[in-house]
Amino acid sequence: QVQLVQSGAEVKKPGASVRVSCKTSGYTFTRNWIHWVRQAPGQGLEWMGIINPNGGATMYAQKFQGRVTVTRDTTTSTVHMELRSLRSDDTAIYYCARDHSNEMVVWWLDPWGQGTLVTVSS
Amino acid sequence: SSELTQDPAVSVALGQTVTITCQGDSLRTCYASWYQQKPGQAPVLVIYGKNNRPSGIPDRFSCSSSGNTASLTISGAQAEDEADYYCYSRHSSANHWVFGGGTKLTVL
């Protein structure tokens, strides 16, 4: 079955960088884009960015432009998300999710990774 | 603030029907998808497009769309449906995607 398995929890100091990985399996890696979504404690879901594993093209939310980079490794079917210049308000659970679209009028995410808690604290 | 607007909280009596709405300009050109999230768990897709449910999602979940509003309806709500629900769509600018702010559903 399709699975997205993320790397483990991280604790970082303000100003540092974090890299979260999302290893995919059970489907052809290059067929579906992968999104990154985060959720701060007690808050809603926030879309961060997307990568097309077939070629590596990316799009990012304006809020994270210049601070986030999403890459992919086709040899391991893994997507990585790096967030730099971390602040305390970057403390959140970070999720990857597999993208689907039907005729470009409906978009859905399924499945999701289990989430990775990133804690930013001095 | 989110570009998709949801009511923060909704309640429903056990066995009754409840509708959760999502409003935004992007919904005029794109259908929404809906996600259920229970405490401590990752979101789960419950329905998308024109009433498409993934396998394992009960048929008491349905959706509809009109103008700039998408709706998720739970017919005969069960205790296990108590959760946060999020709508999602591609922004009309086509260069990013957006979630609604989420609706906390309480089953009484």
What is the pLDDT, as a whole number, of residue A59? Answer: 95
Q: Are A118 and A12 in contact (CB under 8 A)?
A: yes
Q: Measured between beta carbons, which residues in chain B are less than 8 angstroms from residue A110?
A: 45, 54
Going by pLDDT thresholds of 50, 70 and 90, the confidence category of residue B97 is very high
Range A88-91 contact pairs with CB under 8 angstroms and sequence separation of 24 or more: A88/A14, A88/A120, A88/A121, A89/A40, A89/A120, A90/A118, A90/A120, A91/A40, A91/A41, A91/A118, A91/A119, A91/A120, A91/A121
List the 76-105 stretch of B: residues with Cβ below 8 A of A: 84, 86, 88-90, 95-102
pLDDT score of B92 more than 80: no
- Conformational region of residue A118, where left means phi above 0, alpha means psi within -120 to 50, and beta covers everything else: beta
What is the pLDDT, as a whole number, of residue B57? Answer: 96
Interface check B1 vs A, CB under 8 A: no
Q: Are A85 and B21 in contact (CB under 8 A)?
A: no
What is the pLDDT, as a whole number, of residue A62? Answer: 93
List the 39-78 stretch of B: residues with Cβ below 8 A of A: 42-45, 48-50, 54
A46 with B88: Cβ contact below 8 A: no
A106 with B97: Cβ contact below 8 A: no
pLDDT tens per residue across span B7-58:
999 999 999 999 999 999 888 877 899 999 999 999 999 999 989 999 999 9
What is the pLDDT, as a whole number, of residue B2? Answer: 60
Digit-by-digit pLDDT tens for chain A (122 residues) are 999 999 999 999 999 999 999 999 999 999 999 999 999 999 999 999 999 999 999 999 999 999 999 999 999 999 999 999 999 999 999 999 999 998 778 999 999 999 999 999 99
- The closest CB to that of A107, out of B43, B89, B102, belongs to B89
Residue of B nearest to A98 (CA): B45
Interface check A37 vs B, CB under 8 A: yes
What is the pLDDT, as a whole number, of residue B47? Answer: 96
pLDDT score of B1 more than 60: no
